Amino acid sequence: MEKRVRLRFAPSPTGGLHMGGVRTALFSYLYAKKHGGDFILRIEDTDQTRYVKGAEEYIIAALKWCGIEPNEGVGFGDGKFAPYRQSERKELGIYAKYAKQLIDSGNAYYAFDTSEELDAMRKRLEAAKVVAPQYNSVSRQNMRNSLTLSEDDVKKLLDAGTPHVVRLKVPRNEEIRFHDIIRGWVVVNSTQVDDKVLLKSDGMPTYHLAHIVDDIEMEVSHAVRGEEWLPSAPSHVLIYRYLGMEDKMPQFAHLPLILKTDGNGKLSKRDKSGIPMFPLDWFDERTNESYVGYRESGFFPEAFVNMLAMLGWNPGTTQEIFSLDELVEAFSFERVNKSGAKFDPEKTKWFNQQYLRAKSDSELATLFSPLLAENLKGTQESRHKNQAFVEGVCKLVKEKAHFVSEFWANGNYFFITPTTYDADVIKKRWNEQSATFIKEVTEAFKSLSSFTAAETEATFKATAEKLGMGPGQVMQLFRVCLSGVGGGPMLFEMVELLGKEVVVNRLETATNNIK
């Protein structure tokens, strides 16, 4: 019987969920859904000293906003593998049972070294010019552990409740091989692998033991994580082997790093690129630092997810815009790059722009309306209550915007008559001839019975021709008289939307005010 596809996202509640973590969740979700499997949220809270209040709730809210919801796990309903918090699972004795199995088979041992003894060991190794000082098959021979102490001494120490940890016994000079879906075969010599702590002195398991036990117990088929965990993977392979459960070892997929824009180093939550690093706003109580989220910055969740999917993965085609369902259909780990993916803030805004343009004018008007109401509070302007008019504004201004929040700055003149006019355009274009044109075209507009874009454009050109002028000579000036600014959406569509009365009034006001 073929093994059911089951992937987990297993963050630690030590802070806000960084976009790199969201990408891990996204790729796990896509693969699980493509293969009709399960996507699980497990909270790895074994390090209670780093626990941050509110972090777990933030993780759940972020996944919901992104639309990549687990079908099982913390905050999403219990399956037969509950509980999904490691702190709760520890109380059941699950991790201690596996640690005992490793000790009994001779593949793990008790270590009673104090922090002072560990510091002294590191200093000895550094003095001996050891490049990477670590607790391993060589250094452990000079330390206080159950491999160097007699059985009686070990028993006495354990009976006395002497603080200790359980360490993995890594063999000396052995080749460790494993296959990664993204990177192919990885071969590491055990001399490069340290004796990882599996159980801490407080009885809490470390990540190295806990995630393996949970993956076994929860029948996880694929383990997706960041490239930074690649050096630890050989230890994890050994643990599966020593437990006699290599057949239950999930397939590994180590994702490439998300790099800074210049490609120089890993993207950090503290990088100031002008684009958020977190999906939602996050305040870190430990550091008193605030981080702006994609949601609060006006990004659409679909755009954020689309952008994130393209960081390190490519579909093998030129297509860039994908719905979540399309991503599920197209995704494979084989098309994930080995090398790091550069984060591009401008491309990130471009993705949002594409989704903004694809939205209906009605949807955009609904999103824009609260901003309009706020900006027009206390004025007599009422057109923001006219749904058709607001939709028309959205249709015109969305082409040059990345966010709905830019609509007001780009198109406030649709609602408020300008009181100032672009000085550069006035200086360059306003003269006796152009002033005459503005007066003439105003009178011509008054006599129009149909005030469509086509009719007003034809009238505009005919007036210019009558005065011996080219339309280009006065087009920008005409725009400034109506809006106060020298650039904007399609001119005569703007004229049609403003309507005859407003256009005529604004042209007359401009003629009277511009000197």
Pairing of strands 289-291, 282-284: antiparallel
Query: Which tokens is 363 given?
Result: 């949807």
Nearest alpha-carbon partner for 308 in 253, 255, 367, 251 = 255
Q: What is the pLDDT of residues 336-377, one digit of tens each?
A: 999 999 999 999 999 999 999 999 999 999 999 999 999 998
CATH topology of domain 94-199: Glutamyl-tRNA Synthetase; domain 3 (3.90.800)
Nearest alpha-carbon partner for 89 in 176, 170, 205, 200 = 205
CB 289 within 8 A of CB 30: no
How far is residue 46's CA from residue 407's CA, in Å, rounded to a whole number? Answer: 47
Pairing of strands 165-168, 108-111: antiparallel
Quote the distance between the C-alpha of residue 473 and its chain's center: 48
Catalytic residues, by residue number, are 269
CB 480 within 8 A of CB 426: yes
Q: What is the pLDDT of residues 255-268, one digit of tens each?
A: 999 998 887 888 87
Q: What is the pLDDT of residues 28-87, one digit of tens each?
A: 999 999 999 999 999 999 887 888 889 999 999 999 999 999 999 999 998 899 999 999
Query: Which tokens is 94 given?
Result: 């699950």
> Which residues fall within 8 angstroms of residue 82, CB to CB, at 6 or more apart?
none
How high is the pLDDT of residue 1? Answer: 62
Q: CATH class for domain 423-513?
A: mainly alpha
Kindly tell me if the per-residue pLDDT of 171 is higher than 90.
yes
What is the enclosing helix (H) or strand (E) of 284? strand 282-284
How far is residue 480's CA from residue 487's CA, in Å, rounded to a whole number? Answer: 8
Pairing of strands 184-189, 175-180: antiparallel
The distance in angstroms from the start CA to the end CA of the chain is 85
Hey, which CATH number is domain 1-73+256-358, 3.40.50.620, 2.30.110.10, 2.30.30.100, 3.40.50.2300?
A: 3.40.50.620
CA distances from 171 to 206, 325, 386 (A): 20, 46, 76
DSSP 262: T
Q: Indicate whether this model's pTM tops 0.85.
A: yes
pLDDT > 70 fraction of the chain, expressed in percent and rounded:
99
273 band by pLDDT with thresholds 50, 70 and 90: low
**Half-sphere CA count of 366, side-chain side, radius 13 A:** 5
CA distances from 318 to 322, 323, 336 (A): 11, 15, 15
Show me where the domains of the chain are located. 1-73+256-358, 94-199, 360-408, 423-513
